[in-house]
Structure 1
Amino acid sequence: MSSSVRRVRALAAVLVAGALLAGCSTFSEEGRDQYERSRGAQPGAVDGGDSGGSAKPEPPYDVRPLLEPEKKYLGVAADGAPARMGAVEDFAGRAGKKPNLVEFYSAWGDRYEQALVRNSWDYGALAFIAWEPFGTSMKDIASGKEDAYIREYAQSVRELNLPVALSFAHEMNGFWYPWGTERTSAADFTAAYQHIHDLFGEEGATQVIWVWSPNVTHPMPKVKLEPYWPGDDYVDWVGVVGYYADTGPSTYQSLYGPTMAQIRGFTRKPLIIAETAAQAGERKPAAIRSLFRGTAERDDVIGFVWFNFDKETDWRIESGPLSEKTFKQEAADPRFGFDVTKP
C-alpha cells in the first residue's frame, strides 16, 4: 500500500472521529522527478554538494537566530511546493506578503531532498519537513535497525549546510497514524525520536531545527502529552497541529489553549502552529482573524503554517472572497514575516 493511500485512510479515520485534520503529502515522486530534470539531474540521483574536494568546508550553519525570532513566521504548505514555487507565489500574491516557511512531507525511506530545501531557501523561506515514518516502527528505529538510512539522511543534511526544520512522526498523540496511540507506546516514540536526534549529532548535522508536533488534544483529551516529550535537549520548537473546522473549537483559545497549557506544564520551548487552516464556510473569516490575532498576542508562539490545499475541504485562503480579503488584511500586520536569510 502506498504512503499516500495510507494518509488518505488515516485522514478518513480522523474525519469520521470528527477531528477534521489534513496532514497529507504535498509532493509526489513524479513532481520530484520533473523538478530534477529541470535542473539537469537524473531523477532519484543524490544531490551532492561541491565535488571539488579542495575547497575549505564551510562552518555548520548556525540555526540559533532562527529559533526565537523577533517577528513571526508566516508559513505555507502549497501544491507542488517547493519543487515548483508557483503555488507559493500565488499564495504570496493573495496574502500580500511572502511566506518565509514552506512545509512539505517526506515518507520514511525517502532521501533528504537537498534540491527542495535549497529551492525554498533561494525563494527566501526556511524548509519545514514533516518526516512520516510509514513502513517502519518506533521500536525498530530505537533499536538501531534503521541506522544506516538515518545516518545517510543526516550526512546529506550536513553536506547541504542549510537550515531546515524537521518534524518527525507528527500527531503521535492521535490514533490515525501507525506511530500513533493505537500501535505505538509513548516510551517507544520518545526512544525513537531521541535515537534519531543522537545519530544526527554524531554525524555533525547541526543544521536541523527539531520540531515535536502533537495534535491539539480535544479529539483525544485522555491522552496526556508529557509521556511523549523527548526532553528539552531534543526539541527546538513545539509544533502544534490544529485546524478550524465547522464542527469543533472556533476560537484560538478553545482550539489551542488547552494543548498549549498542558505543554507549558513541562517545557518553555517556543511554540509554532505547525499545520492549520480553516474549513470553507461562514466561519472562515472569523477563524482567520482568530489565528492571526491569537498568534500575535502570544510572545511564545513564533508563527504558523497554513495548509493551502483544496483537499477534503477547501482550506485555501481563496476559498471565498471575504476569506481572502481577511487573510490579506491580517497578514499586513508587521509582526508577521521577516527575512529568514537575515534573522
Structure 2
Amino acid sequence: MRLRKRFRMTGAALACALAGVLALGGCSLLGDDSGGSSETGGAGAPRSSASPQDIPYDVTPLIKPAKKYYGAAVPGAPISMKNIDVYTSRTGKQPNLIEYYAAWGDGFDATGVRNAWAEGALTLMSWEPFDTSLADIAAGRSDAYIKEYATAVRKLNLPVVMDFADEFNGHWEKWGTKHATPAQYVAAWRHIHQTFVDVGATNVIWAWAPNIVNPVKNVRLKPYYPGDAYVDWIGLVGYFTIGQDNAFDSVFGPTRDEIRTFTKKPMLLLETAAMPGERRRADVRNLFAGVAADDDMLGFIWFDYKKRADWRLEASPLALEEFKRLAADDRFGFDVRKPS
C-alpha cells in the first residue's frame, strides 16, 4: 500500500536527457528468459563487424546475475549522484541499482543513466501515468511520446530497467483498481513494450511490479500479468510496517506464492523499507536474510526518503549499523558493467 508520495522529475532536469540516448531490452517475444539479441555476446559485446552503437546492449547477464542487487532510491539520484555517495558512506557499500520516478510526459533521463552507469550501477525508472488513462495509452493516443522516449533509450544504448504503472492492484493509484481494468492495464503494457521493440530499443529489462497483496487480498494478480513474453522481472513493492507480523514470509510470502502459480520469472523487492523505531533493526535482519535465502530473489531497493514516514536509514542509528553489517556480505552488490 502506498506509504510514500510520488515525485516528478522536472522537465528542466530532464530536458537535456532527450539529447542523450539509451538502449534496453530483455523480454523475449517468444516468452523465454534469454532476453538479449542473438547477435551479441556477454554484456553487450558485439560478435559482428557492426559498431557497438548499432547493436542493442545485451542485458541477458543482468537479468539473473550470480550476486544480488543492492539497490537504493534516494532524493536527486541519478541525475545527481551526491546522495548516492552519502548513502554509500553510511552503509559501507555503493548501490548498484538506483531507482527514480518519472511522470508520464517526462523526457528520458539519459544523463542520469550515464551517471549511474559510470559508477557501476543500473538505473530503474518507475514510469507513472498520472495524467493519462491506461485505455488511452493502449489505444495509441500517446504513441508519439512513447516512440520518442523509446528512440532516446535506443540511442544511448545502455541497459536500464523499466517499471510501468506499479502498484496497479491498489485502489490508491490513478491507474489502480478504481480507474482501470486488468485488460486495460495489460493492453497498455503490451502496447508500450511493442513500441520499444519496433524502434529497436531491446535493451530494457521490464519489471512488472504489483504491491504486496496483504492490504488488497481480494484483488487477483494473474489477470494483470502481461505474459512472460513481455516481462523480465517481478518487482514487489512492500514495506515492513508497525502492526503486522514482520517475518519476511509474512510480508512478501503471500504475494510471492500467488505469483508463482502463473510465472517463474525472477523477483526483486523493487521498493521496500521499514518504519523507524525499535523494531527496525529486526526488520533489517529479516530483509537481508529473506533475500539471501531465495535463489530466485534478485535483491532489493531500499526507499531512503522521508515521505509520510521516515524511511531513511539514518532515522534509526542502531538499525543503520545492522544494515551496514549485513550489507558487507559479498553476496550483495556487484559492478553491473561486469556482471559475471
Same topology, TM > 0.5? yes
Counterpart pick for 2:307 among 308, 311, 314: 311
Distance 1:107 1:71 in 2: 31
Deviation of 1:321 (Å): 1.5
Bigger relative contact order (CA 8 A; separation at least 6): 2
Deviation of 1:86 (Å): 1.3
1:281 matched to 2:277? The reply is: yes
Counterpart pick for 1:214 among 175, 200, 210: 210
* Corresponding residue of 2:168: 172
Distance 2:88 2:259 in 1: 32
Distance 2:190 2:264 in 1: 19
SS at match of 1:22: coil
* Corresponding residue of 1:48: 20
Distance 1:337 1:48 in 2: 27
Distance 1:49 1:59 in 2: 13
SS at match of 2:56: coil
Distance 1:26 1:92 in 2: 24
1:239 matched to 2:221? The reply is: no
User: Contact conserved, 2:11 with 2:107, CA < 8 A, in 1?
Assistant: no
Letter in 1 for 2:214: H
* Corresponding residue of 1:125: 121
Distance 1:23 1:239 in 2: 19
**Kindly, what percent of the aligned residue pairs are identical?**
49
Distance 1:338 1:249 in 2: 31
Task: Please identify, of 310-319 and 95-104, the stretch whose mean Cα deviation from structure 2 is larger.
Answer: 310-319
Aligned pair count reads 311
Deviation of 1:249 (Å): 3.6
Distance 2:84 2:161 in 1: 18
* Corresponding residue of 1:229: 225
Q: CA 1:28–1:287 in structure 2 vs 1: closer, same or farther (change >3 Å)?
A: farther
Deviation of 1:318 (Å): 1.3
Letter in 1 for 2:82: G
Deviation of 1:84 (Å): 1.3
Deviation of 1:316 (Å): 1.0
Counterpart pick for 1:149 among 145, 152, 173: 145
User: Contact conserved, 1:26 with 1:78, CA < 8 A, in 2?
Assistant: no
* Corresponding residue of 1:339: 335
Deviation of 1:22 (Å): 2.2
Letter in 2 for 1:250: N
Deviation of 1:312 (Å): 1.4
* Corresponding residue of 1:330: 326
* Corresponding residue of 1:15: none
1:83 matched to 2:90? The reply is: no
* Corresponding residue of 1:14: none
Deviation of 1:45 (Å): 6.7
Distance 2:213 2:219 in 1: 7
Letter in 2 for 1:285: R
Deviation of 1:110 (Å): 0.6
Distance 1:26 1:73 in 2: 25
* Corresponding residue of 1:24: 6
User: Contact conserved, 1:20 with 1:243, CA < 8 A, in 2?
Assistant: no
Q: CA 1:80–1:205 in structure 2 vs 1: closer, same or farther (change >3 Å)?
A: same
* Corresponding residue of 2:41: none
Unmatched segments (≥5 aa) in structure 1: 1-18, 34-42
Query: Which digits, 9 at most, give the CA deviation of each residue in 1:117-159, with x for residues without a partner?
Result: 1111112110000000111111111111111111111000000
Task: Please identify, of 77-86 and 183-192, the stretch whose mean Cα deviation from structure 2 is larger.
Answer: 77-86
Deviation of 1:23 (Å): 5.5
Residues 5-24 of structure 1 correspond to what in structure 2 (within 5 A)? 19=1, 21-22=3-4, 24=6
Task: Please identify, of 211-220 and 118-127, the stretch whose mean Cα deviation from structure 2 is larger.
Answer: 118-127
Distance 1:198 1:317 in 2: 39
Deviation of 1:46 (Å): 2.5
Distance 1:84 1:266 in 2: 39
Counterpart pick for 1:97 among 93, 97, 107: 93
Deviation of 1:29 (Å): 4.6
Distance 1:186 1:328 in 2: 40
Distance 2:83 2:205 in 1: 25
Query: Which digits, 9 at most, give the CA deviation of each residue in 1:234-285, with x for residues without a partner?
Result: 0000000001111234121000000000000000000000000011111100
User: Contact conserved, 1:27 with 1:79, CA < 8 A, in 2?
Assistant: no
User: Contact conserved, 2:104 with 2:127, CA < 8 A, in 1?
Assistant: yes
Letter in 2 for 1:337: G
* TM-score (normalizing by structure 2): 0.88
Q: CA 1:245–1:125 in structure 2 vs 1: closer, same or farther (change >3 Å)?
A: same
User: Contact conserved, 1:309 with 1:315, CA < 8 A, in 2?
Assistant: yes
Unmatched segments (≥5 aa) in structure 2: 23-49
* TM-score (normalizing by structure 1): 0.87
Q: CA 1:26–1:76 in structure 2 vs 1: closer, same or farther (change >3 Å)?
A: farther
SS at match of 1:46: helix
Letter in 2 for 1:230: P
SS at match of 2:100: strand
Q: CA 1:22–1:90 in structure 2 vs 1: closer, same or farther (change >3 Å)?
A: same
